[in-house]
């Protein structure tokens, strides 16, 4: 069955089921990682809504907003194959009033790690996610661990602002050679595609160690050997994104961001001490 395509709140209200609703927010250019979120959502609710919206607010000047892949026809086909009930595809004009003033602030946690490289990114991301929650009114929403700081900030927003939705995280889907699936992988030329493997290789090298200092050292050495332009490599608390001390016990996130040619990639793994 083809999904219902909704463009605004009125369409959504018409399409909404009286049962449990799960939302999977995306920016389109759908791949196997997005499909895994849709399948997980299916197990959590009676109705699955996928939003497809390239959110201008979360791209900085000089970032890839205008060249971000837009493949709506193919995306609808993916949603149909996965049994998605409703595709919410608003236009930027539908989403943002020209006189818009108020947005969500990600606070201090939005200014560290990924937020330090992309100022304002997490404010824009949280603003659109809160709007999507208010428009779709899901019981549960599914996000990928691939964007670990995003997931942590969405959990914080829901807690700090008492948003009535359950947040579920989903594991990262990878290519057989380790590269994390990303809509941005399609920018990679064959040489870049090979070079990009250094990210997952560094994370694996780090995760094979058993103490925080050794994890950082092993991952750093692997990245240094790759010659990629690294934005950061950090070992942080999954809830706060603060660096963990060498004495740390519990679960941490080893997260990396690097530029491969003109494409910026991020990846992470969970490590337990
Ligand atoms: P995006 O379309 O890139 O904004 O991503 C939409 C959702 O898919 C986010 O919750 C991402 O974390 C998630 N996602 C992206 N890549 C992957 C992946 N390789 N595996 C699992 N989830 C992913």
| pLDDT of amino acid 240 | 98
As averages over each run of 10 residues, the pLDDT of the chain (273 residues) reads 96 96 98 98 98 97 94 98 98 95 98 98 98 98 98 98 98 98 94 97 98 98 94 98 97 98 96 98
Ligand 1 atom 7, closest CA? 26
Which ligand 1 atom minimizes the distance to the CA of 171?
Answer: 21
143 lines ligand 1 (CB under 6 A): yes
Which ligand 1 atom minimizes the distance to the CA of 144?
Answer: 12
180 lines ligand 1 (CB under 6 A): yes
**Count of CA atoms in the C-beta half-sphere (13 A) of 145:** 17
121 lines ligand 1 (CB under 6 A): no
149 lines ligand 1 (CB under 6 A): no
Task: Say how far apart CA 73 and CA 250 lie, in whole Å.
Answer: 44
What 3-state class would DSSP assign to 260?
Answer: strand
Ligand 1 atom 13, closest CA? 144
Task: Say how far apart CA 125 and CA 94 lie, in whole Å.
Answer: 17
| pLDDT of amino acid 149 | 98
Pocket test for ligand 1, best of 30, 32, 34, 173 (most atoms within 8 A of CB): 34
Task: Say how far apart CA 166 and CA 257 lie, in whole Å.
Answer: 28
| pLDDT of amino acid 96 | 97
Catalytic residues: 34
pTM reported for the whole predicted model: 0.98
268 lines ligand 1 (CB under 6 A): no
| H helical segments located in the chain | 9-15, 32-44, 72-81, 92-95, 114-117, 121-136, 148-160, 190-195, 197-207, 212-226
| pLDDT of amino acid 1 | 82
Backbone angle region of 188, left / alpha / beta, with phi > 0 → left and psi within -120 to 50 → alpha: beta
């Amino acid at each position: 069955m083809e999904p219902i395509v909704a463009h605004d709140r009125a369409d959504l209200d018409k399409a909404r089921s009286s049962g449990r609703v799960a939302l999977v927010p995306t920016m389109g250019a759908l791949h196997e990682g997005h499909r895994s979120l849709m399948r997980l959502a299916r197990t959590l609710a009676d109705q699955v809504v996928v939003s497809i919206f390239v959110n201008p607010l979360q791209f900085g000047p000089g970032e890839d907003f205008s060249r971000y892949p837009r493949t709506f026809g193919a995306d609808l086909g993916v949603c149909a194959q996965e049994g998605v009930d409703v595709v919410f595809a608003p236009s930027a004009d539908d989403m943002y009033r020209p006189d818009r003033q108020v947005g969500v602030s990600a606070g201090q946690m939005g200014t560290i790690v990924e937020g330090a490289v992309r100022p304002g990114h997490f404010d824009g991301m949280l603003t659109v996610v809160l709007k999507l929650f208010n428009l779709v009114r899901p019981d549960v929403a599914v996000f990928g661990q691939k964007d670990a700081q995003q997931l942590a900030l969405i959990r914080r927003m829901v807690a700090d602002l008492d948003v009535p939705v359950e947040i579920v995280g989903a594991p990262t889907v990878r290519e057989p050679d380790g590269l994390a699936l990303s809509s941005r992988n399609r920018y990679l030329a064959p040489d870049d595609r090979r070079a990009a493997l250094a990210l997952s290789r560094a994370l694996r090298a780090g995760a094979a160690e058993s103490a925080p200092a050794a994890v950082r050292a092993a991952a750093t050495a692997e990245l240094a050997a790759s010659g990629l332009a690294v934005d950061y490599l950090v070992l942080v608390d999954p809830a706060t994104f603060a660096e963990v001390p060498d004495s740390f016990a519990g679960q941490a996130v080893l997260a990396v961001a690097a530029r491969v040619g003109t494409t910026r990639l991020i990846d992470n793994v969970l490590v337990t001490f």
